Structure 1
């Protein structure tokens, strides 16, 4: 496995929006097209959408966020993983871990020391995945999602 990240471009846009997670996971993560629309409406540099590619195969999609105003009042700024969609047939092959590591490296490169993520709790959700990677619940929620944090120092 030699995955890499690629920017979403006109050349790979159709591949990006065609990516699907398993049907039992669709309630837990927005489709790629919604993520790309959200990236478009946020100021430049906040959203970081990327495809996860291995050889000629697109195996997933991630979108990170950098230095956002978490509470909307300027009191807390955070960076982290906003979305992670691993294609249904590609799960369990290390692409999710690769994505988390890639976002962590980018946050460190930008001077950050913590990485945040949120997830829908419940069956077929990603909670155990994030906890295995070292995220810890911080007692917060974002809407109906659990918030986790990973120390990068």
Structure 2
């Protein structure tokens, strides 16, 4: 990382640049574009937490957390929080920004009093599973929309 990363809210001044963020072409099948994520955040503002990842003056990624959602309508007490979306710009991958994003979401989950973060990933040989496993997520045995559900226990919640 050249400049230390920071999170930044999406604003009218940066939304166009945010929507222009692109992952590598071979990763496009694994993650929705930022514009789609922002539409989902607009439709569910009570749970969505969209943020840009910036280093210096440059947008290097996008994340969207979710907080306190009912995961299974048949189990209303099963409320979860975690990482909903992660897009790191193609030319900024491998620089630690993805790890920063995951840790930022986990810190926010802890700040909100929960002791477990959840995420999902598309299965596949070139998918992000190894990344999430390295960061402490473990498959729960569940799937969501065909994606693997992973959970990470958080210390000091």
Query: Following TM superposition, by how much is the alpha carbon of 1:111 offset from its aligned partner in structure 2, in angstroms?
Result: 0.2
Unaligned runs of 5+ in 1: none
RMSD: 0.8
- The answer on 1:55 being equivalent to 2:67 is no
1:113-124 mapped onto 2 (5 Å cutoff): 113-124=115-126
- Distance (Å, rounded) in 2 between the aligned partners of 1:147 and 1:71: 13
After TM superposition, the structure 1 = structure 2 runs for residues 109-148 of structure 1, keeping only pairs within 5 Å, are 109-148=111-150
After the TM superposition, which parts of structure 1 deviate over 2 Å for at least 4 consecutive aligned residues?
A: none
- Aligned partner of 1:76 in structure 2 is 78
Count residues with an aligned counterpart.
152
Between the aligned partners of 2:46 and 2:88, the Cα distance in structure 1 is 23
* Deviation by residue 1:62-100 (Cα, 9 ceiling, x = unmatched): 000000010124131000000000000000000000000
Unaligned runs of 5+ in 2: none
* TM, length-normalised to structure 1: 0.97
Residue of structure 1 equivalent to 2:38: 36
TM-score with structure 2 setting the length: 0.94
Match of 2:92 among 78, 90, 93: 90
